[in-house]
């Protein structure tokens, strides 16, 4: 039986690393696109990386960039993949406000370049395409939860760039018959999460404070509410989406939301701490009582507030559960346990 060939853009990111592991276990031949840089940034996939001289390889890395059609097209035309997972993006929302042009070039036009390469190489009937969409499409909705029927109202250049990629995916599906599907994924975290994202910033910062390597964790909007899941669950859903007979655009979420404040409190509970809060807004801080001393460990900073705040998101993935038979293995406490354990272990070494 011929092995399936998959191409993952953003293979060295959180989702790319977990998806590569999943596909290798399912006996795929996996190709990944990485950007050329002065350092070989494969930290998240070092355990599955295979040297070029190995004869029977199942993992191949290619230099490429979503801002260049030529580089993307050269890979797709060479390997002719059965499945393409577009996970590469400038995915930090705050950065998108500071660098909206680059964010749009990568996130919006990058998706278009992949789809156009599939079309130009006449792979419409062979290649299935998955686009990593985002809950940021919804903005601050008036509905208690967001499903596939909820209107979009983006609140950032990042969300707007992803809105283009969402619609261009549907456009190529309807115009050229490509199996092209969007996964509208709500926030998903893991020990491999980038250090500029709030959950990782919290788990790493509190671990540093616990190990006396840091005194204060500076944070943004404590009352921002998010639907947080585990990346392992969500990349499995990505794979399931491409195994369907017909392409579907599906919301993937837990259906539960928690505030940044609650996430901090749960991380502190893992450490055996009880945190207290004082003040309001940018003057709020969190502290511990240790040995009858009041020790400040959390400080709100205006630096980490978005120009256009997105206050609350909670997904409704009822359709995905029906169509994919999708079930979550992780809840927020298991996620936090894994993240905190990882950060404490790494900081001790």
Q: Could you say which of 18, 28, 130, 158 is catalytic?
A: 158
Three-class DSSP category at 243: coil
Q: Are 98 and 92 in contact (CB under 8 A)?
A: no
Cα distance between residue 267 and residue 93, in whole Å: 23
Q: Could you say which of 111, 127, 134, 199 is catalytic?
A: 134
Q: Is 134 a catalytic residue?
A: yes
- Look at residues 55, 345, 37, 14 and name the one whose alpha carbon lies nearest to residue 203: 345
Beta bridge partners of 133: 184
What order do you get walking across the sheet with 179-185 strand by strand?
A: 59-63, 29-34, 5-9, 83-86, 128-134, 179-185, 250-252
Q: Is 78 a catalytic residue?
A: no
What distances in angstroms separate CA 293 from CA 218, 286, 288, 296, one per listed residue? 20, 13, 8, 10
Q: Could you say which of 83, 116, 136, 189 is catalytic?
A: 136
- Look at residues 165, 154, 69 and name the one whose alpha carbon lies nearest to residue 118: 69
Instruction: Give the length of the chain.
Output: 349
Q: Is 158 a catalytic residue?
A: yes
Cα distance between residue 245 and residue 170, in whole Å: 16
DSSP for residue 335: H
Q: Which residues contact 229 (CB under 8 A, 6 or more apart)?
A: 186, 187, 188, 189, 252, 253, 254, 328, 330, 335
Q: Which residues are catalytic?
A: 134, 136, 158
């Amino acid at each position: 039986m011929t092995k399936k060939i998959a191409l993952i853009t953003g293979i060295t990111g959180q989702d790319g690393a977990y998806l590569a592991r999943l596909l290798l276990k399912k006996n795929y031949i996996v190709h990944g696109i990485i950007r050329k840089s002065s350092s070989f940034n494969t930290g998240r996939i070092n355990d599955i990386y295979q040297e070029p001289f190995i004869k029977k390889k199942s993992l191949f890395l290619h230099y490429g960039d979503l801002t260049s059609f030529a580089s993307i097209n050269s890979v797709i035309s060479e390997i002719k993949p059965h499945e393409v997972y577009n996970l590469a993006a400038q995915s930090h929302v705050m950065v998108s406000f500071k660098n909206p042009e680059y964010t749009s070039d990568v996130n919006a036009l990058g998706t278009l370049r992949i789809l156009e390469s599939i079309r130009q190489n006449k792979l419409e009937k062979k290649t299935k395409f998955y686009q990593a969409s985002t809950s940021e499409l919804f903005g601050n909705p008036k509905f208690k939860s967001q499903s596939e029927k909820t209107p979009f109202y983006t609140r950032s250049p990042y969300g707007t760039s992803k809105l283009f990629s969402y619609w261009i995916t549907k456009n190529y599906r309807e115009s050229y018959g490509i199996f092209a599907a969007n996964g509208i994924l709500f926030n998903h975290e893991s020990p491999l999460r980038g250090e500029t994202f709030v959950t990782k910033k919290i788990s790493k910062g509190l671990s540093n404070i616990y190990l006396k390597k840091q005194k204060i964790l500076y944070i943004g909007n404590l009352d921002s509410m998010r639907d947080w899941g585990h990346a392992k669950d969500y990349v499995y859903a990505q794979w399931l989406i491409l195994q369907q007979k017909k392409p579907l655009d599906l919301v993937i979420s837990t259906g539960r939301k928690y505030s940044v404040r609650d996430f901090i409190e749960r991380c502190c509970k893992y450490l055996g701490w009880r945190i207290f809060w004082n003040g309001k807004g940018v003057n709020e801080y969190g502290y511990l009582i240790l040995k009858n001393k009041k020790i400040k460990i959390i400080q709100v900073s205006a630096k980490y507030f978005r120009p256009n705040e997105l206050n609350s998101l909670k997904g409704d993935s009822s359709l995905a559960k029906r169509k994919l038979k999708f079930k979550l293995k992780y809840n927020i406490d298991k996620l936090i346990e894994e993240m905190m354990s990882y950060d404490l272990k790494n900081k001790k070494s």
